[in-house]
Amino acid sequence: MKKVICLLAEGFEETEAIATIDVLRRAGLTVDLVSLNSSFYVTGSHKIKLTADRTWGPDLHDADLLFLPGGQPGSNHLAADPRVLGLVLDFNNQGKTIAAICAAPMVLAKAGVLQGKKATSYPSSKDVVVAGGADYREDFVVVDGNIITSRGVGTVLPFACTLVEAMGIDSEPLKKSMLLEWMFEKN
């Protein structure tokens, strides 16, 4: 079974984290919530507390997908942590899927993995993402090789379904069961 690591830093965006985790688990993926702190309890940017499955450890490199929820100051905490930057580089070097939403693509920019890649982010993070060498797009979800980025809370469900597809799982039955077909219809 494919495994996903979701990194939670103090001040993460709750809707982006929880909705994505929910969709991934509905698809049958194993999702481990990993606290960057020594505590299992992590508080989001809107004061909602989550209990992580675990704290940081050496076996994080064994996952198939690395998911970074956005939010502030959570994304700044992720970008300031050398362990996170090292993990992003390791996943990229192995060609593993890296997904970031909202302000979190700036973590990928800081790690140097967006050079020449198409990417998007929350509008206020655009300058950092562009400075990191990204070919900036304003699409809801942008996929370029092993990198998947998205804009924010309003794009979280298409983002999560894209992650399901990236893990080799057909998301159509999931979209139907969650009444999401309308969101993906072409006009």
Place of tokens 């992590």: 42
pLDDT score at 32? 97
Q: For the whole model, what pTM was predicted?
A: 0.96
Q: Strands (DSSP E) along 56-176, which ranges?
A: 65-68, 97-101, 118-119, 135-136, 141-144, 147-150
pLDDT, average across residues 159-182:
94
| pLDDT tens per residue across span 41-62 | 999 999 999 999 999 988 898 9
Q: How far apart (Å, rounded) are the C-alpha atoms in residues 9 and 173?
A: 32
Among residues 5, 99, 102, 111, which one is catalytic? 102
- Structurally, how many domains does the chain consist of? 1
CA separation, residue 98 to residues 47, 141, 167, 176, 181 (Å): 26, 13, 11, 26, 25
CA separation, residue 155 to residues 10, 49, 105, 124, 141 (Å): 22, 22, 14, 16, 7
**Predicted confidence (pLDDT) at residue 16 exceeds the cutoff of 80:** yes
- Helices (runs of H) and strands (runs of E) counted in the chain: 8, 11
pLDDT score at 182? 81
| pLDDT tens per residue across span 163-172 | 999 999 999 9
Q: How far apart (Å, rounded) are the C-alpha atoms in residues 34 and 49?
A: 13
Query: Mean pLDDT score of the chain, rounded to an integer?
Result: 96
Q: pLDDT above 90 covers what percent of the chain?
A: 93
pLDDT, average across residues 133-152:
98
Provide the domain limits for residue 8.
3-184
**Residue 13 belongs to what H/E stretch?**
none
pLDDT score at 138? 97
pLDDT band per the 50, 70, 90 thresholds, residue 183: confident
Q: How far apart (Å, rounded) are the C-alpha atoms in residues 155 and 133?
A: 23
Is 102 assigned a catalytic role? Answer: yes
pLDDT band per the 50, 70, 90 thresholds, residue 184: confident
Q: pLDDT above 70 covers what percent of the chain?
A: 99
| pLDDT tens per residue across span 71-122 | 999 999 999 999 999 999 999 999 999 999 999 999 999 999 999 999 999 9
Q: Strands (DSSP E) along the chain, which ranges?
A: 3-8, 30-35, 41-43, 49-51, 54-55, 65-68, 97-101, 118-119, 135-136, 141-144, 147-150
pLDDT score at 186? 58
pLDDT score at 30? 98
- CATH assignment of the domain containing 76: 3.40.50.880
**Predicted confidence (pLDDT) at residue 187 exceeds the cutoff of 80:** no
